[in-house]
């Protein structure tokens, strides 16, 4: 169980980092999604791995239960990363349509024409 969780977190993280380093919008979005899956599984495991145990204390039980807090944290993290991915897709699409290029790179902050000029008109 531990081995499966650990390997999957490692594989997802490695894939995510590799894709982010590709510096292309689509690859980066998929990479960030992989990373967020990895971190969700990771947080889930941070409350110790328990199989078939309730997330509440049993009144008569011997005190074996799975930690409910990481489940709540994961739920928050999932919602946030889902929303963020949606925002990222929209901004990447906007950037691609404006520039006709999906590279995540600037020409350098010091070059190019000031687009404040365009705004002032």
Partner 1 sequence: MNHWIIAPVVLPAMLAPIIGFVMRHDISLARAASVTGTLFLAAISVGLLIMATSGETYVYKLGDWEAPYGIVLVLDRLSALMVFLTAILALIVLIHAIATGWDNRGRHFHALFQFQLMGICGAFLTGDVFNLFVFFEVLLIASYGLMIHSGGRERLQAGLQYVVINLAGSTLFLFALGTLYATTGTLNIAHLAVRLGEIPVEDAALVRVATMLLMIVFAVKAALFPVQFWLPGTYANAPAPVAALFAIMTKVGAYAILRVHTLAFGPEIAATDGVAGDWLFPAAIVTVAIGALGVLGSRRLMPLIAFSVVGSMGTLMIAISAFTPEATTAALYYLVHSTFAAAALFLIGDLLVSRRNADLLGAMPVTVQNGLFASLFFAAAIGMAGMPPLSGFLGKLFVLDTIRDPGEITWAWTAILAGSLFTIVGFARAGSVLFWKSTATPAPAPVEGEALAVMPAARPMELAPAMSALTLLVLLAFLAGPVTVYLGRTADQLHDRAGYVGAVLGTDLEG
Binding footprint of partner 1 on the chain (CB under 8 A): 16, 20, 25, 28, 32, 35-36, 38-39, 42-43, 45-48, 69-70, 73, 76-77, 80-81, 83-84, 87-88, 91-92, 94-95, 98-99, 104-106, 109-121
Q: At what angle do helices 2-20 and 25-45 cross, to 10 degrees?
A: 160
CB of 51 to partner 1, least distance (A): 18
Residue (32 or 55) nearer to partner 1, CB: 32
Q: Is 104 exposed, middle or buried (0-12, 13-18, 19+ CB in 10 A)?
A: middle
């Amino acid at each position: 169980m531990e081995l499966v969780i650990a390997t999957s977190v490692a594989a997802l993280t490695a894939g995510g980092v590799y894709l982010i380093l590709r510096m292309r919008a689509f690859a980066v979005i998929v990479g960030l999604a992989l990373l967020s899956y990895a971190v969700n599984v990771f947080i889930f495991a941070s409350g110790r791995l328990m199989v078939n145990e309730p997330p509440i204390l049993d009144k008569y039980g011997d005190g074996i239960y799975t930690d409910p807090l990481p489940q709540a944290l994961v739920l928050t993290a999932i919602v946030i990363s889902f929303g963020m991915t949606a925002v990222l897709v929209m901004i990447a699409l906007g950037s691609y349509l404006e520039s006709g290029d999906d590279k995540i790179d600037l020409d350098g902050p010091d070059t190019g024409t000031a687009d404040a000029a365009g705004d002032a008109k």
